[in-house]
A and B are shown apart, each in its own frame.
Chain A
Amino acid sequence: TQLLEQSPQFLSIQEGENLTVYCNSSSVFSSLQWYRQEPGEGPVLLVTVVTGGEVKKLKRLTFQFGDARKDSSLHITAAQPGDTGLYLCAGARDDKIIFGKGTRLHILP
């Protein structure tokens, strides 16, 4: 059973466009992390959200934690080729960390 669903799985868009990646679950998480991974490298932590309804911004990236702490979204404004990568969300629950399957994002120049 996949406890953390990410969508879309793949996304290819033109530079300058906006996009949103979703991370959904029926379970409540105590915190949720977003990571970005480039080919041949380990994932890099982008942000942690803890409070329901919390919004965090990292330059052109906006992260939101759902009010019920069951879902999260990542919105990228004016995507750049450097945003290309695999985006992973991970939820913390019962001392376990659960990763989503990831969203593979490709930004076309």
Chain B
Amino acid sequence: GAVVSQHPSWVICKSGTSVKIECRSLDFQATTMFWYRQFPKQSLMLMATSNEGSKATYEQGVEKDKFLINHASLTLSTLTVTSAHPEDSSFYICSATTSGDPYEQYFGPGTRLTVT
């Protein structure tokens, strides 16, 4: 149980275009979903926290107009990187928590974004 999927697993896009990444909880309803960014050989950097039906809470330094998060249902959250630039290239990972324990996170497999 507690499986989280992400789509796409990798994407290459041109500078200036937008990219949408989907995060789905497959077998449970996610109370909260998180979006992280991870640089090579580094730990996770929390970008934002989202709850279904409400606006995402962004961490300090994360541009909410650039990284649009929509949490349309209890099983789906999307991250859209708008007007992508090469410096946005990274590994983006989502996670979700269940109602059982708000602190145990179930992570998706990640999305590798490369902006050329």
A contacts, CB < 8 Å to B? 30-31, 33, 35, 40-45, 48, 86, 88, 90, 92, 95, 97, 99-102, 104
Question: Are A99 and B43 interface neighbours, CB within 8 A?
Answer: yes
Chain B: which residue is nearest A88 at the CB level? B43
Contact B110 A40 (CB under 8 A): yes
Report whether A48 and B104 are in contact in the complex, using a CB–CB cutoff of 8 Å: yes
B43: chain A residues within 8 A (beta carbon): 86, 88, 99-102
Across chains A and B, the number of contacting residue pairs, with CB separation under 8 Å, is 55
Is the pair A42, B103 in contact by a Cβ cutoff of 8 Å?
no
* Contact A44/B103 with A99-B43, A101-B42, A104-B41 known, Cβ cut-off 8 Å: no
Does B87 sit within 8 A of A, measured CB to CB?
no
Task: Please indicate the chain B residues that have their CB under 8 angstroms from the CB of A90 in the complex.
Answer: 103, 105
How many Å from the CB of A58 to the closest CB on chain B? 14
Residues facing A in B11-52 (CB within 8 A) are 34, 41-44, 46
Please give me the residue from chain A that is nearest to B41 by CB atom.
A104
Alpha-carbon separation in the docked complex, A41 to B38 (Å): 11
* Closest beta carbon of chain A to B79's beta carbon, Å: 14
A100 to B45, CA, bound (A): 10
B75 at the interface (CB under 8 A from A): no
Bound Cα distance from A90 to B95, whole angstroms: 13
Question: A-B pairs with the 7 shortest C-beta distances?
Answer: A42-B107, A92-B103, A101-B43, A102-B43, A43-B107, A42-B110, A42-B93
